[in-house]
């Protein structure tokens, strides 16, 4: 019904200091041991663009380069969030993808079932819940999603403590009955500027660059028929992850058709753990 039908129609068409001074500085540092970020979603629906990929798949590097290109080109012009889910079902060829998680393959299978696909494949783009093989038309399709009135509002307060624990306080407010009954809320930590030197498998000899890599994925959470859902999640940030390249992503997705009710991305580069 309504906007999802409109999107589907358009989608088909588009195919040393002194001791006292040191003590004062140290005390001040102990008091201010966190920095917080507050962000709210806006009036347009932010598109969620998912890429299912693998370092063991020879067809995936071009798709990842394309994802990087459109992010660089349209980040300031269009409202979308990219998430790269590395799947593990290519690992048997000889190269184990260090960013893969079996749960991401499960998520891809759910998307395949919604889209009535017979098989899984990589690379696969999924936009607004739809299988999107005509990936060159993604920028135009993002415009269509942005014109849709959101079905939810998202508010985030995030802080990082001295033990690299991210404290995320999230509120999701429904705009109407659809979100109350069908919104699935997910939380992701994504990282940019990752790389691997591949020494086996289909991409042997290649040095691969990755952006938007999902490092952690949590959910779903549901509103259970209520107008609002308040979440507080403490998420451990691995010391090997680069804080300057991390983002916290929260989105509400329709449990039936996979469409995005609303989404928000919060860069974590503004946080410090002192």
Pick the range with the lowest mean pLDDT from 68-82, 89-103, 191-205.
68-82
Lowest mean pLDDT among 10-24, 52-66, 99-113, 181-195: 10-24
Confidence (pLDDT) at 8:
56
The pLDDT tens digits for 216-262 are: 999 999 999 999 999 999 999 999 999 999 999 999 999 999 999 99
Identify the residue whose tokens are 């009036």: 43
Q: Are 41 and 154 in contact (CB under 8 A)?
A: yes
Q: Which helix (H) or strand (E) holds 198?
A: none
Distances from the Cα of 142 to the Cα of 76, 112, 139, angstroms: 13, 20, 5
Q: Please tell me the distance from the alpha carbon of residue 110 to that of residue 21, in angstroms, as a whole number.
A: 59
Domain ranges of the chain: 2-11+37-267
How confident is the model at residue 11, as a pLDDT?
Answer: 53
Report the alpha-carbon distance of residue 75 to residue 60 in Å, rounded: 22
- Ramachandran quadrant class, 43 (left: phi over 0; alpha: psi -120 to 50; beta: rest): alpha
Q: DSSP readout, 242-257?
A: -GGGEEEEEEEEETTT
- Closest by Cα among 109, 127, 130 to 118: 109
Residue 190 has a CB neighbour count (10 Å cut-off) of 23
d(Cα 266, Cα 246) in Å, to the nearest integer? Answer: 9
Residue 90 has pLDDT above 70, yes or no: yes
Residue that has been written with the tokens 């663009």 in this structure = 49
The helix (run of H) or strand (run of E) holding residue 189 is strand 183-191
Spatial contact of 52 and 132, defined as CB atoms under 8 Å apart: no
* Matching CATH number, 2-11+37-267, of 3.30.450.20, 2.60.40.1930, 3.40.50.2300, 3.40.50.300: 2.60.40.1930
Strands 246-254 and 130-131 come out as unpaired
pLDDT of residue 222: 97
- Segment holding 132, helix H or strand E: none
pLDDT, one tens digit per residue, over 5-26 is 555 555 555 543 333 333 333 3
Tens digits of residue pLDDT in 172-221 = 999 999 999 999 999 999 999 999 999 999 999 999 999 999 999 999 99
* pTM value > 0.85: yes
- Confidence check: pLDDT of 122 > 50: yes
In angstroms, the CA 27 to CA 272 distance is: 17
CA pair distance 194, 205, nearest whole angstrom: 17
HSE-CB for 54 with a 13 A CA cutoff: 26
Q: What is the pLDDT of residue 35?
A: 79
Beta bridge partners of 146: none
């Amino acid at each position: 019904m309504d906007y999802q039908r409109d999107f589907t129609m358009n989608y088909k068409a588009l195919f040393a200091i002194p001791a006292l001074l040191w003590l004062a500085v140290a005390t001040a540092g102990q008091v201010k041991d966190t920095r917080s970020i507050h962000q709210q979603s806006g009036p347009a629906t932010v598109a969620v663009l998912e890429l299912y990929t693998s370092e063991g798949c020879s067809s995936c590097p071009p798709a990842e380069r394309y994802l990087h290109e459109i992010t660089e080109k349209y980040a300031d012009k269009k409202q979308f969030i990219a998430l790269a889910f590395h799947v593990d079902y290519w690992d048997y060829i000889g190269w184990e993808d260090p960013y893969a998680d079996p749960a991401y393959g499960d998520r891809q299978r759910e998307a395949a079932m919604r889209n009535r696909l017979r098989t899984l494949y990589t690379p696969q783009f999924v936009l607004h819940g739809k299988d999107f093989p005509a990936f060159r038309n993604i920028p135009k399709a993002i415009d269509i999603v942005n014109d849709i009135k959101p079905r939810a509002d998202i508010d985030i307060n995030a802080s990082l403590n001295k033990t690299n624990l991210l404290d995320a306080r999230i509120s999701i407010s429904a705009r109407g009955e659809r979100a109350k009954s069908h919104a699935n809320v997910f939380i992701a930590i994504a990282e940019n500027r990752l790389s691997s030197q591949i020494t086996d498998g289909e991409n042997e000899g290649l040095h691969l660059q990755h952006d938007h890599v999902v490092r952690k994925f949590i959910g779903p959470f549901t509103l259970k028929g209520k107008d609002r859902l308040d979440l507080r999640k403490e998420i451990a940030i691995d010391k090997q992850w680069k804080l300057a390249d991390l983002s916290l992503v929260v989105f509400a997705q329709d449990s039936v058709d996979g469409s995005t009710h609303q989404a928000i991305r919060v860069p974590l580069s503004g946080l410090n753990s002192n």
